[in-house]
Amino acid sequence: MKESASPLVSTPSLYVVATPLGNMGDLTPRARDTLAAVDVVAAEDTRHSQRLLDAHGVRARLLAVHQHNEQEAAGQIIALLAQGKQVALITDAGTPAISDPGARLVVRVREAGHPVVPVPGACAAIAALSVAGIVEGGFRFVGFLPTRTAARRAALQALAGERNALVFYEAPHRVRECVADMAAVFGDERELFVARELTKLHEELATMPLGAALAWFDADANRLRGEFVLIVHGAPAAAGLDAAAIRTLDLLLAELPLKTAVRLAAEITGAARNGLYSHALAKRQCDNLTPQPDKHTKKTNDHP
Ligand code: SAM
């Protein structure tokens, strides 16, 4: 275990420091000491971060690094490291580079030959997973879905056969349409876990089938406020298709009637026919919700 009087290593480094999601008590002692010891703190929003630093009695020189200037700021930070300065990176909340700026900076700093040191702590995805009760399998972190409806449904469709739990971030003004699309694509029975306002005053955790999600959000206007992590349980075994099977089926579905596409996809990939059939039905349902030119308008009572 690495432990010493100074929280810094002797070589000038970039420290990627996690900060609280809401509860100020979640800044770790090591994170606080690192922020107090470095020469410069690179922050996504310097005014927001100033409040965090003030609350912890940390005086620091701040430098703005956000998604619009990450490459340019990387040059400045590399120059500081070359001068022997120690630099920390923080974002508005949680762990940098997780649906936040930071990854490009990390690559550039490492390419320039300077060490990058993680100082771990809060992360909304991990906090939500820790209380979601995902008993079996792993998880797949998706983060934010595309904001446009057709692209979002296509992204969900590509995840329909994923056996691991899916972890999404979503903004309050899109969460309703997002869960509606999830129900359309994954089916009403799939379990959804909602983690709202984690570590904050109005923290709320709830589990429900996707088919009940809209009613849950509509039952209380406050439920559409704040920040959300959405976790969708993995696809059931019968529907568990690998990426190659889904891609094959999607290509065939674009050209052929559903029943033929499912039969050929099963022969080509060896995947279970009932899983392919469920995926095909969900995709057709989703495509019907999304306005688009349809080569095969045939509505069928196809069975596997
Ligand atoms: N890097 C951050 C992390 O480690 O979790 C995530 C940053 S991302 C820009 C912001 C999103 O994270 C929010 O839209 C929300 O989906 C999620 N999030 C952040 N804080 C949250 C909280 N207190 N409760 C629930 N979700 C939160």
From 90, 119, 224, 228, mutation site for ligand 1 pocket: most ligand atoms within 8 A of C-beta:
228
Q: Is 19 in the pocket of ligand 1 (CB under 6 A)?
A: no
63-110, pLDDT tens digit by residue? 999 989 999 999 999 999 999 999 999 999 999 999 999 999 999 999
Strand, helix or coil for residue 4 = coil
Q: How far away, in angstroms, is 254 Cα from ligand 1 center? A: 36
From 169, 179, 197, 205, mutation site for ligand 1 pocket: most ligand atoms within 8 A of C-beta:
169
Q: How far away, in angstroms, is 268 Cα from ligand 1 center? A: 41
Can you give the pLDDT at residue 243?
Answer: 77
Can you give the pLDDT at residue 139?
Answer: 97
Q: Which residues of the chain have a pLDDT value below 50?
A: 1, 291-304
Q: How far apart are CA 35 and CA 63, in angstroms?
A: 13
Q: How far away, in angstroms, is 267 Cα from ligand 1 center? A: 43
Q: How far apart are CA 248 and CA 232, in angstroms?
A: 24
Nearest residue CA, atom 20 of ligand 1? 21
The minimum-distance atom of ligand 1 relative to the CA of 170 is: 16
Nearest residue CA, atom 11 of ligand 1? 169
The strand ranges marked E within the chain are 14-17, 40-43, 61-64, 87-90, 116-119, 139-144, 165-170, 191-196, 204-209, 228-232
Q: How far away, in angstroms, is 264 Cα from ligand 1 center? A: 42
Q: How far apart are CA 33 and CA 6, in angstroms?
A: 8
Q: Is 52 in the pocket of ligand 1 (CB under 6 A)?
A: no
CB contact at 8 A, 207 and 133: yes
What does each C-alpha distance from 257 to 130, 213, 249 come to in angstroms?
43, 32, 11
Residue carrying the six token digits 């993680």: 118
Integer-rounded Cα Rg, in Å, for the chain is 23
Q: For domain 126-232, is the CATH number 3.40.50.10310? A: no
Can you give the pLDDT at residue 176?
Answer: 97
Q: How far apart are CA 50 and CA 263, in angstroms?
A: 60
Q: Is 195 in the pocket of ligand 1 (CB under 6 A)?
A: yes
Edge-to-edge strand order for the sheet containing 14-17?
Answer: 61-64, 40-43, 87-90, 14-17, 116-119
Can you give the pLDDT at residue 92?
Answer: 97
pTM over 0.75: yes
**Which CATH number does the domain 14-122 belong to among 2.130.10.10, 3.30.70.3280, 3.40.1010.10, 3.40.50.2300?**
3.40.1010.10
219-245, pLDDT tens digit by residue? 999 999 999 999 999 988 655 677 788
